[in-house]
Amino acid sequence: MKNSGKMLISFAILVLLFANSACKSNDDKKTSIESKDSNALDIPDVKMGNFYETDSSATNALVLADTIIYNVIVKNPDPEDDFQEYSLKYFNKQALTNIIFNAIYNGRLTPYNYQYENVMTIQDVKEMEKKHPRSEIANIQFTEVWYFNEKTMSLTKKVYSIMMAYERKNLSGEIRYTAGVQVYLNDSKKNLNQSINK
């Protein structure tokens, strides 16, 4: 009986020691995982000179994005949003929209229907302008290529296309955007030299 009691106590002590050792081992693993994760950030070594060995010409700049598409709100939907108001403080939307529509009407840019990706006629654009005044243009979608020149530390964006969208409110007052014309810049294949007389 005494022997079985001693064996039971010994067994209990072994179980406690094993459990304690397992906890320490798990703590050690957590510590090593945490330290490994914090040290395993994907940060390249610091280099002197140029990382990508580009020279100062734009043709040899690194292409960061080919292409990237993003939207910019150009009409603040909330007058109490001071940050959005400040963000647009120096943007001349009227100048941009007038230049684009003037270029469409004088045949320098061809208008495209954003939704169907087909060419719009000058008459289509006129009809659209009757329904949607330029003051309602609230969102502009840019399609761009981004170049980074490491020698000059300059980021250059080449705009490929611009699509202007109009602000609309649904019945619950939420802002939505309706696609307007899309134009392609610096692309002779996309510009068909229409004129206002056609």
- Indicate the burial class of 100 (C-beta count within 10 angstroms; 0-12, 13-18, 19 or more): buried
Is residue 197 scored above 50 in pLDDT?
Answer: no
What is the residue-wise DSSP string for 132-193? Answer: S-GGGEEEEEEEEEEEEETTTTEEEEEEEEEEEEEEEE-TT--EEEEEEEEEESS-TTT---
198: confidence class by pLDDT, cuts 50, 70, 90: very low
62: confidence class by pLDDT, cuts 50, 70, 90: confident
Is residue 36 scored above 90 in pLDDT?
Answer: no
Query: What is the mean pLDDT of the segment spanning 113-135?
Result: 94
Q: Of residues 152 and 9, which shows the higher confidence score?
A: 152
Check if the beta carbon of residue 110 is closer than 8 Å to that of residue 187.
Answer: no
What is the residue whose two structure tokens read 């280099």? Answer: 47
150: confidence class by pLDDT, cuts 50, 70, 90: confident
CA distance 117 to 115: 6
Query: What is the mean pLDDT of the segment spanning 25-47?
Result: 58
Query: What is the mean pLDDT of the segment spanning 48-54?
Result: 63
73: confidence class by pLDDT, cuts 50, 70, 90: very high
pTM over 0.75: no
Write the single-letter amino acid at 3.
Answer: N
Q: What is the pLDDT of residues 74-120, one digit of tens each?
A: 999 888 999 999 999 999 999 999 999 999 999 999 999 998 889 99
